[in-house]
A and B are shown apart, each in its own frame.
Chain A
Amino acid sequence: MSMAMKEPLEQPETAKGEKSEVAKSEVAKSENEVVKSEVVKSEKSEVMKNEVAKGEVAKSAVAKSGVKKRDKEKYVVWSGRLLFGLIVLTLWEVLSGRAFNEFWISKPSAIAGRIYEMALSGDLWFHVQITLQEALAGLVIGMAAGTALGVLLASSGIVDRWIYPYMMALYSLPRVALAPLFVVWFGIGMTSKIIMVVTMVIFVAFYNAYEGIRNIDRDLLDMMKTYRATDAQKLRWVILPSITVWVLTSLRLNIGMALIGSVIAELVGANRGLGYYITYSSGMLDTTGVFTGLALIMMIAVVLEQIVIQIERRLLKYR
């Protein structure tokens, strides 16, 4: 069967002069106007018969104008952010000791100094690694279990209708209130903290995976059926990519949850970790210590979120 075509699609459009109408409608339809308007302009050129050349011109024209715009925007955003942060920190530094007693609010320089001290003495890593380990271990277990549960339940038909209301009821429990219970059950070591984190993470992971499965486009599954795809192929091409967005969203939310969970559990009963450090400092009336602990937690959260954002960007570049 030979399907060789001599003329590319664009020529009839040229001949009939309806190209401008086609172009206009194609532009109007697009969300990404930069890409499409450039593409359409190059399509209009009646001189270019070579499809490859058209494609190349379109792509490089798009690339150039797009990059310039994006660079400028990035610069504006980042310099604004930096400036804002510097202003806040400066105000804090200046007001502390003058408008407010340094005891109550500490100051950035004191916090920085404390972090430096802790780094030297090894305390920094000592506490950070505990909290980090608890949060990450709980995050991994909670995400894995929650996602698996969500996928299974959403695919389970009638069992889904039986069990789902219970899951949602458990979700609405303030799990934070379970922290003391976990410490009683599992002691003040890392176990109780990890369990705390798991209970906080598992529900968000479950809900997102569940909704992800329920929101899969039926037409795509029908399409796979018409090509006689196996279940494994449907999973690979449609189901897993469909729920990726949902899972990544739950991951981003859960980083915050994981840190909250481990710190709260540490606040209740621990002998190591950032939450412990905060409680300890507060008991010694050492506000700088408290702020330092909080600052470190914030920094960890930001770093982890950035990692997830990078993962998202790679996995979701089709959006």
Chain B
Amino acid sequence: MEQQKLKLDIRGLTVSYETKNESTLAIEDVNLTVGDGEFVAVVGPSGCGKSTLLKVVSGLLKPAAGTVLLDNEPVRGVPDKVGMVFQNDALLPWKSVLDNVRLPLAIKNVSRAKQIEEASRLIELVGLKGFENFYPKQLSGGMRKRVALARTFAYDPSIYLMDEPFGPLDAQTRVTIGEHFLKMWEKVGKSVLFITHDIEEAITLADRVVVMTKRPGRIKADFKVPFERPRPYYEIRFDPRFSHIQKQVWECLADGN
């Protein structure tokens, strides 16, 4: 029997935070895998350590114990090819949309002409053509998110780590962007580890929904989402199977948390 190639393999991960007098356990003994090209959503109560999990995978934080294997290589420092999308876009306010999107390419020392060409293509892809010379302050929250997504696409990572990327957006914008992101992802097909507190969003987007407990966070359950791809973003939530999973996830979250 052939073993499915694992993009991300987390075993026994434990992370603690040092504060003034004490160290608190953020996550404890987390085991999680993400297959190649798989979209995994992580849901859990506030403060359960979802962001911490992501930070360790991206190399920004060191764990107290456990291993994280990315493409079968242990993560030491920030690995190549990890694309992180932050909760608060982390756009450079003093740079235009075009400059923000071409940043990862500039860091890679791609020629400037190519930087601009690729960035312009991605800006058009996320529907922001015409806004290349605008500054982040002049854009709405949804538009800033799209710039952040375009920037991450420019980096062309082999795994996307997304920390409540649509968090600060209002419900409607969220749905629009979610749909757009899904369409783009279905063409790109890279692995995604997606943190959200929105269960519907998780089920709509992901192949698997993983539930974490409250702090110290552990993996409580792992639900497989049975829907095929490509997925009709709006209509899928009216599929009878949808509410079934939704119920399961809710109950899992509510129970004991």
Q: Which residues of A contact B86 (CB under 8 A)?
A: 219, 222-223
Please tell me if the beta carbons of A223 and B90 are within 8 angstroms of each other in the complex: yes
Indicate if A73 sits at the interface (CB-CB under 8 A). Answer: no
Please tell me if the beta carbons of A318 and B130 are within 8 angstroms of each other in the complex: no
Indicate if A180 sits at the interface (CB-CB under 8 A). Answer: no
Please tell me if the beta carbons of B82 and A55 are within 8 angstroms of each other in the complex: no
**Min C-beta distance of B3 to chain A, whole Å:** 25
Indicate if B229 sits at the interface (CB-CB under 8 A). Answer: no
Mark the stretch among A5-13, A126-134, A144-152, A190-198 that contacts chain B: A5-13
Q: Interface residues of B toward A: which range?
A: 35 or more
Q: In B116-156, which residues have CB < 8 Å from any A CB?
A: 122, 124-127, 129-131, 135-138, 140-143, 146, 153, 155-156
**Min C-beta distance of B257 to chain A, whole Å:** 28
CA distance A30 to B124 in the complex (A): 22
Q: Which residues of A contact B88 (CB under 8 A)?
A: 219
CA distance A35 to B142 in the complex (A): 15
CA distance A26 to B177 in the complex (A): 13
CB nearest to B161 among chain A residues: A226
Contact flags B56-95 to A (C-beta < 8 A → 1, else 0): 0011100000000000000000101011101010101111
**Min C-beta distance of B74 to chain A, whole Å:** 17
Q: Could you count the A-B residue pairs with CB atoms below 8 Å apart for me: how many are there? A: 122
Q: In A45-65, which residues have CB < 8 Å from any B CB?
A: 51-52, 54-56, 58-59
Q: Which residues of A contact B78 (CB under 8 A)?
A: 225-226, 228
Q: Which residues of A contact B187 (CB under 8 A)?
A: 1-5
Indicate if A32 sits at the interface (CB-CB under 8 A). Answer: yes
Indicate if B184 sits at the interface (CB-CB under 8 A). Answer: yes
Please tell me if the beta carbons of A26 and B140 are within 8 angstroms of each other in the complex: yes
CB nearest to A224 among chain B residues: B107
Q: A26-B173, A51-B127, A59-B130 given as contacts; is B84 within 8 A of A31 (CB)?
A: no
**Min C-beta distance of A19 to chain B, whole Å:** 9
Indicate if A227 sits at the interface (CB-CB under 8 A). Answer: yes
Q: Which residues of A contact B137 (CB under 8 A)?
A: 31-32, 318-319
Q: A21-B172, A26-B142, A318-B135 given as contacts; is B130 within 8 A of A10 (CB)?
A: no
CB nearest to B133 among chain A residues: A59
Q: What is the interface of chain A mostly: helix, strand, loop, or mixed?
A: helix
Contact flags B19-60 to A (C-beta < 8 A → 1, else 0): 000000000000000000000000000000000000000111
Q: Which residues of B contact A237 (CB under 8 A)?
A: 92, 95, 103, 106
Please tell me if the beta carbons of B60 and A226 are within 8 angstroms of each other in the complex: yes
CA distance A8 to B104 in the complex (A): 24
Q: A5-B125, A225-B78 given as contacts; is B135 within 8 A of A12 (CB)?
A: no
**Min C-beta distance of A77 to chain B, whole Å:** 24
**Min C-beta distance of B126 to chain A, whole Å:** 7
Indicate if B17 sits at the interface (CB-CB under 8 A). Answer: no
Q: Which residues of B contact A230 (CB under 8 A)?
A: 107
Q: Which residues of A contact B141 (CB under 8 A)?
A: 26, 29
Please tell me if the beta carbons of A3 and B130 are within 8 angstroms of each other in the complex: no
CA distance A1 to B153 in the complex (A): 11
**Min C-beta distance of A222 to chain B, whole Å:** 6
Please tell me if the beta carbons of A1 and B156 are within 8 angstroms of each other in the complex: yes
Please tell me if the beta carbons of B90 and A219 are within 8 angstroms of each other in the complex: yes
CA distance A4 to B184 in the complex (A): 8
Please tell me if the beta carbons of A22 and B176 are within 8 angstroms of each other in the complex: yes
Indicate if B222 sits at the interface (CB-CB under 8 A). Answer: no
Please tell me if the beta carbons of A227 and B60 are within 8 angstroms of each other in the complex: no
Interface centre among A21, A25, A27 (most CB of B within 10 A): A25
Q: B103, B104, B126, B140: which contacts A29 (Cβ < 8 A)?
A: B140
Indicate if B183 sits at the interface (CB-CB under 8 A). Answer: yes
Please tell me if the beta carbons of B127 and A225 are within 8 angstroms of each other in the complex: no
Please tell me if the beta carbons of A241 and B92 are within 8 angstroms of each other in the complex: yes
Q: Which residues of B contact A30 (CB under 8 A)?
A: 140
Please tell me if the beta carbons of B172 and A25 are within 8 angstroms of each other in the complex: yes
Q: Which residues of B contact A32 (CB under 8 A)?
A: 137-138
**Min C-beta distance of A15 to chain B, whole Å:** 9
Indicate if A238 sits at the interface (CB-CB under 8 A). Answer: yes
CA distance A18 to B142 in the complex (A): 14
Contact flags A303-319 to B (C-beta < 8 A → 1, else 0): 00000000000001111
Known A223-B84, A227-B107, A237-B95; further 19 A-B contacts with Cβ < 8 A:
A1-B187, A5-B183, A13-B176, A16-B234, A22-B173, A26-B173, A30-B140, A51-B129, A54-B130, A222-B90, A227-B103, A227-B104, A227-B155, A228-B78, A228-B107, A241-B92, A244-B94, A318-B135, A319-B137
Interface residues of B (CB under 8 A from A): 58-60, 78, 80, 82-84, 86, 88, 90, 92-96, 103-104, 106-107, 122, 124-127, 129-131, 135-138, 140-143, 146, 153, 155-156, 170, 172-173, 175-176, 179-180, 183-184, 187-188, 234
Q: List 14 A-B contacts (CB under 8 A).
A: A2-B187, A5-B125, A9-B146, A25-B170, A29-B140, A52-B130, A55-B130, A219-B88, A220-B90, A227-B155, A228-B80, A318-B94, A318-B96, A319-B93
Which 7 pairs of residues, A with B, have the shortest CB-CB distance? A55-B130, A9-B127, A26-B140, A223-B90, A51-B129, A318-B135, A226-B84
